């Protein structure tokens, strides 16, 4: 029997971050959508809340990577 060191949501989020690191932003987006489904099916509210914050952070990272060329001005 193989013992896993990470829960499924953490594994998916780690893969999404690796996809961001390698510039595969479309793959990262697909992984985050899959992560949303997995987290939504989590029965334990405490784990779901923990995973949701990690998912939000990953979505923010993806957004910043997709919009890094935008410049914001005060005008």
User: Distance between the two ends of the chain, CA-based, in angstroms?
Assistant: 61
Contact between 38 and 19 (Cβ < 8 Å): no
Q: What is the pLDDT of residue 69?
A: 83
74 found inside a domain: no
Domain of residue 33 covers 8-66
User: Has residue 3 been placed in a domain?
Assistant: no
The pTM (predicted TM-score) of the whole model is 0.82
With respect to residue 38, please indicate whether it lies within any of the assigned structural domains: yes
Specify the number of domains making up the chain.
1
Residue 33 φ/ψ, nearest 5 degrees: -65, -40
Q: Specify if 57 maps to a domain.
A: yes
- Is residue 39 situated within a structural domain? yes
Of the candidates 8, 68, 5, 1, the one whose C-alpha atom is nearest the C-alpha of residue 43 is: 8
Residue-wise pLDDT for 21-72, tens only, equals 999 999 999 999 999 999 999 888 889 999 999 999 999 999 999 998 876 6
């Amino acid at each position: 029997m193989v013992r896993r060191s990470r829960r499924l949501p953490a594994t998916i989020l780690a893969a999404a971050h690796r996809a961001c690191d390698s510039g595969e932003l479309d793959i990262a987006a697909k992984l985050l959508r899959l992560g949303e489904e997995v987290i939504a099916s989590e029965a334990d509210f405490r784990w779901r809340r923990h995973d949701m914050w990690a998912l939000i952070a990953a979505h923010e990272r993806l957004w910043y990577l997709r919009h890094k060329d935008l410049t914001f001005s005060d005008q």
